[in-house]
Amino acid sequence: MINIEVNGKPVKAKKGETILSALKRQNINVPTLCHMEGLPPSGACRMCVVEVENMPQLVPSCSYPVENGMKIKTHSPTVLKTRKTIVSLLLSNHPDDCLYCLRNNQCTLQSLAKELNISKRLYRGAKDVKEMDISGLSIVRDPEKCILCGKCVRVCEEIQGVSAIDFINRGSKTSVGTVFGQGLNVSSCINCGQCVLVCPTGALTEKSSLDDVVSALSDPKKYVVVQHAPAVSVSLGEEMGIKPGTDVDGKMVAALRAIGFKRVFDTSFSADLTIMEEGSELVHRIKNGGVLPMMTSCSPGWIKFIEQYYPELLPNVSSCKSPQQMLGALIKSFFAQKEGLDPKDIVSVSIMPCTAKKFECARPEMANDFIPDVDYVLTTREAGQLLRTFGIDLAAMDPDPADTPFGERTTAGKIFGASGGVMEAAIRSAHFLITGKEMENLDINDLRGFAGCKELTAQIGPLSVSAAVVSGLGNARKLLDEVVAGNKKLHFIEVMTCPGGCINGGGQPISLDKDNVRSRMKKLYKIDAEEKVRASHHNKQVQRLYEEFLGQPLGEKSHKLLHTHYKERPVTK
């Protein structure tokens, strides 16, 4: 440790760390626009500049290392003037449409303008006019709101390994765009929405289905139902001003009923169903010499990624639909028959932590007789807006249980929301399917946490099953390269598109505090620890579904409704 002085007070710093790192550890606020925790600094925005004694000019704190005896001022008159100039210049070319922007009151640029007391326009000139890109099914790009911080480019390339967007042109004409300026719909974008989470303005947002859902709810001829993903109940409260990590499951169900949804279902039910199908598929492949390693198919961004970059591994992907699509298919078949409803009159809505789910529900593979399994997907953020539109106070709602037959779940289905949860749930049930006995300890701690890649070898009866869990597609790329090269001998691989899993999905509440994401994961495992039914094969409603309708896992009807296939997607280069 070395000694530095910050704003006249002594501070301990680690030798070799950046000034910004030392300041953040002391809870000293220095604004940033381009900085991304865990990635090398780019120093592009200069918002984090500080004054260092005996230095002839201001230095960017994100990239400048601390030195022993250094004396730093974080808010000197020169520093504040510089930051104010930077923000004022950005505002001079920014649209004045805050009232209509989805990021109003959640915009970093807006917050900095307020923080620096910028109350009038200091610079005037002709503004750039650029067309919005609304071609994608999941994400909307508004280049006029882009401030060229580069965070979307970096997360797409360095975290996700996709590189669908990059800086194009030069000088004053520089912008962020796709290859050849094409729309996102024909780019290599996998719709994960991680760019939306890091964008400091409204330049990137999800494509909203709110108006369509509100319209359906007001149509007396439509029977509108909704399902909610495992990770949503531990993140929706955060969107509504409730403490991060709070489980609002029952309150959310009551709120959705109050809005007018006829039935409220829990996607954790079909997560249990997925385990029964996927676990059976894994056992079948292992016992019968099938293609291994088998890879999960729950995450739609991952599916598009492998279609584009590793089509030779498509036979390795499980044929199971995602839990969202499985439940959607059952709602318009089993549920419709039970209720005497025409599937065409059912509007099936899902609330997901994921922007890629919007793309998934529109895939032609996700329909039966040209009737889509799921009609509309709302992100967690959109669900929060829906509640606000209808004047719902989520915190004041009295909890309700979800509707049966698709309301019962086990905690194995609930932990699907965290990276490693699918694998942990699968091993719990695979152990029973292979040995006929329950695992002595259902907690598999080696598969938990935020590590980008986790591996485990589990002894299940006579079989030694090797498994890996990856989250973030940059990590997936590294593992797949090992598999292709023959350096990894695995039976089962879980892939989550977003770092940390669905709790950090592209449709979740936008937060600069990573502790909020950790709180969501912590809550899911707390639910798992506290409830009694913790294995998918113990879900009585799933058992009933097989008895009354599906027959058996991997059976003829299951294959028709719950399984699908994927094919190669050429990438524009």
Compute and round to an integer the Cα radius of gyration of the chain.
25
Q: What's at 31, amino acid-wise?
A: P
Distance CA 130, CA 487 (A): 47
Q: Which DSSP letter does residue 18 get?
A: B
Active-site option among 144, 238, 278, 408: 278
Residue burial 383-417, b: 16+ Cβ < 10 Å; e: rest: bbbbbeeeebebeebeebebbebbbbbbbbbbbbb
Closest CA to 499 of 36, 135, 41: 36
Q: Which DSSP letter does residue 64 get?
A: P
Q: Which CATH number fits domain 2-75: 3.40.50.720, 3.30.450.20, 3.20.20.20, 3.10.20.740?
A: 3.10.20.740
Active-site option among 101, 146, 189, 298: 298
Distance CA 223, CA 225 (A): 7
List, as one string, the DSSP characters of 286-327: HHHT--SSEE----HHHHHHHHHH-GGGGGGB--BPPHHHHH
Distance CA 45, CA 34 (A): 6
CA distances in angstroms from 459 to 142, 427, 431, 456, listed in the order given? 51, 10, 9, 10
The distance in angstroms from the start CA to the end CA of the chain is 48
CA distances in angstroms from 41 to 34, 162, 497, listed in the order given? 8, 20, 24
Asked if the bond preceding 293 is cis, omega within 30° of 0, the reply is yes
Active-site option among 360, 382, 424, 494: 360
3-class state of residue 191 by DSSP: coil
Active-site option among 188, 277, 502, 536: 502
107 is catalytic: no
Q: In the chain, what's the furthest Cα-to-Cα distance?
A: 80
List, as one string, the DSSP characters of 101-126: -TTTTS-HHHHHHHHTT--S-----P
288 by Cβ neighbours in 10 Å (0-12 / 13-18 / 19+) ranks as exposed
Prediction pTM value? 0.95
Active-site option among 357, 358, 454, 523: 357
Strand positions, DSSP E, 83-222: 139-141, 166-168, 175-177, 204-206
Active-site option among 239, 277, 281, 424: 281
What pLDDT, on the 0 to 100 scale, is given for residue 512?
Answer: 78
Residue written as token pair 């991304």: 36
Domain 211-562, what architecture? 3-Layer(aba) Sandwich (3.40)
5 is catalytic: no
Sorted by where each begins, the domain ranges of the chain are 2-75, 120-206, 211-562
Distance CA 287, CA 179 (A): 45
Distance CA 277, CA 379 (A): 26
| Tokens at 532, concatenated | 């009694």
120-206: CATH class: alpha beta
Q: Are 485 and 337 in contact (CB under 8 A)?
A: no
Q: Are 436 and 153 in contact (CB under 8 A)?
A: no
| Tokens at 280, concatenated | 């059976």
278 is catalytic: yes
531 is catalytic: no
3-class state of residue 547 by DSSP: helix
Upper half-sphere CA count for residue 553 (Cβ side, 13 Å): 22
Q: Are 7 and 70 in contact (CB under 8 A)?
A: no
Residue burial 51-67, b: 16+ Cβ < 10 Å; e: rest: bbeeeeebbbbbbbebe
Closest CA to 534 of 235, 272, 267, 264: 272
CA distances in angstroms from 306 to 16, 51, 130, 188, 420, listed in the order given? 39, 48, 32, 11, 19
318 is catalytic: yes
Q: Under the phi-then-psi rule, with left for phi > 0, alpha for psi from -120 to 50, and beta for the rest, what region is 460?
A: beta
Closest CA to 134 of 212, 213, 206: 206
440 is catalytic: no
Q: Which DSSP letter does residue 563 get?
A: B
Summarised one tens digit per residue, pLDDT across range 248-272 is 999 999 999 999 999 999 999 999 9
Spatial CB neighbours of 112, under 8 Å, sequence gap ≥ 6: 31, 33, 47, 83, 87
Summarised one tens digit per residue, pLDDT across range 506-534 is 999 998 788 999 999 999 999 999 999 99
Q: Are 243 and 416 in contact (CB under 8 A)?
A: no
What pLDDT, on the 0 to 100 scale, is given for residue 573?
Answer: 55
pLDDT (tens place) for every residue of the chain, 573 residues total? 999 999 999 999 999 999 999 999 999 999 999 999 989 999 889 999 999 999 999 999 999 999 999 999 999 999 999 999 999 999 999 998 999 999 999 999 999 999 999 999 989 888 889 999 999 999 999 999 999 999 999 999 999 999 999 999 999 889 999 998 899 999 999 999 999 999 999 999 999 999 999 999 999 999 999 999 999 999 999 999 999 999 999 999 999 999 999 999 999 999 999 999 999 999 899 889 999 999 999 999 999 999 999 999 999 999 999 999 999 999 999 999 999 999 999 999 999 999 999 999 999 999 988 999 999 999 999 999 999 999 999 999 999 999 988 999 999 999 999 999 999 999 999 999 889 999 999 999 999 999 999 999 988 888 889 999 999 999 999 999 999 999 888 999 999 999 999 999 999 999 878 899 999 999 999 999 999 999 999 999 999 999 999 999 999 999 999 999 999 998 865
Closest CA to 216 of 276, 171, 260, 170: 260
- Work out the number of other CB atoms within 10 angstroms of the CB of residue 143: 15
Active-site option among 115, 365, 438, 482: 365
Closest CA to 402 of 327, 489, 297: 327
| Tokens at 162, concatenated | 């996709």
